Amino acid sequence: QPYPAPQIAGIETWLNSQSLTMGALKGKVVLIDFWTYSCINCVRTLPYLTGWDRKYRDQGLVIVGVHTPEFEFEKKRENVAAAIKQHGIEYPVALDNNFGTWDRFNNRYWPAHYLIDREGRVAYQHFGEGKYAVTENNIRYLLGLKGRVVDTDATRFSPMQTLETYLGYRRAKNFDFAMRRDAQAEYHFSAMLPEDHWALSGKWQAEAEKLVAAGPGATLRFNFNAAKVFLVLGTASGYPLHARIKLNGKPVGAFAGKDAQGGIVVVERNTLYELIDQKVQGMGLLEIEAQEPGLEAYAFTFG
């Protein structure tokens, strides 16, 4: 049942656009996309969104990316602007740093899509990845376009795949050691690391939403089940930092992710990095070793 679209409100600043309101957008078909730039699920939807923007903008579609941050660093305008450039986003993006619009929509998910008709009513919504053809056909229907697109989405989630895992103590799970909060500590790997669990070696500082390497050689292990491994990393100093990646105790070699070619990831800004690409889903033991202090690690996601 369509319902009146909540207002876009509490926005800190806009990118790619002047300030927009639902009133000003009436008469257009509007797609609200709640996203945040270091979320792999959001990143995987962006090619579809940018494609719809190119395809339907001149026919009355307005996409509004409402960027609602999961981590503190995602509140920075320059970080979001860099992500917009990286992904070729040309539609308006609103920085919803205080969750003003998120709360008005009573939203709970990244990504989340709300499709609003020309009368300003939410006519369709979808949470998470997938159903791209369904969403596009709803766009076409609201625009009054004939013909339907066919579902070519081959994305399927395996129930065996390791789940998203946060490392900061506020939401950390699946670790088998005593974590010292807001203090530097020396950690040591145990002999066994269960599936889907992680562990530390060397000097680390555990903070609410991240771990920070407190010395060179600080190492993080994860026993995962996936084809791809992504990790949100950052640099505490703002200067480039380096980390060495191993898989199953050996140089990562041909299984290096796109951001870890040659077995080294260079962390120049706070964002999502692809560390491992095994091509097919399988078990693996990842090691990421900080080459300098100040490397920040936030959350693992898998694909």
Q: How far apart are CA 23 and CA 297, in angstroms?
A: 41
The pLDDT, as a whole number, for residue 173 is 94
The answer to whether residue 200 scores a pLDDT higher than 90 is: yes
pTM: 0.91
Mean residue pLDDT of the chain comes to 95
The DSSP output letter for 234 is E
The pLDDT, as a whole number, for residue 148 is 86
Residue 22 sits at φ, ψ, to 5 deg, of: -60, -35
The answer to whether residue 9 scores a pLDDT higher than 90 is: yes
The pLDDT, as a whole number, for residue 147 is 86
The pLDDT, as a whole number, for residue 286 is 98
Q: How confident is the model at residue 236 (pLDDT cuts 50, 70, 90)?
A: confident
Q: Which structure tokens are listed for 74? A: 């995602």
Q: How confident is the model at residue 154 (pLDDT cuts 50, 70, 90)?
A: low
The answer to whether residue 153 scores a pLDDT higher than 70 is: no
Q: How far apart are CA 33 and CA 126, in angstroms?
A: 10
Q: How far apart are CA 269 and CA 295, in angstroms?
A: 10
Q: What are the residues whose beta carbons fall under 8 Å from the beta carbon of 198, sequence distance 6 or more?
A: 165, 167, 174, 175, 220, 221, 222, 223, 300
Q: What are the residues whose beta carbons fall under 8 Å from the beta carbon of 51, sequence distance 6 or more?
A: none
- Which of 236, 261, 271 has the alpha carbon at shortest distance from 82? 271
* Single-letter residue type at 256: A
Looking at per-residue pLDDT, the higher value among 155 and 237 belongs to 237
Q: How confident is the model at residue 244 (pLDDT cuts 50, 70, 90)?
A: very high
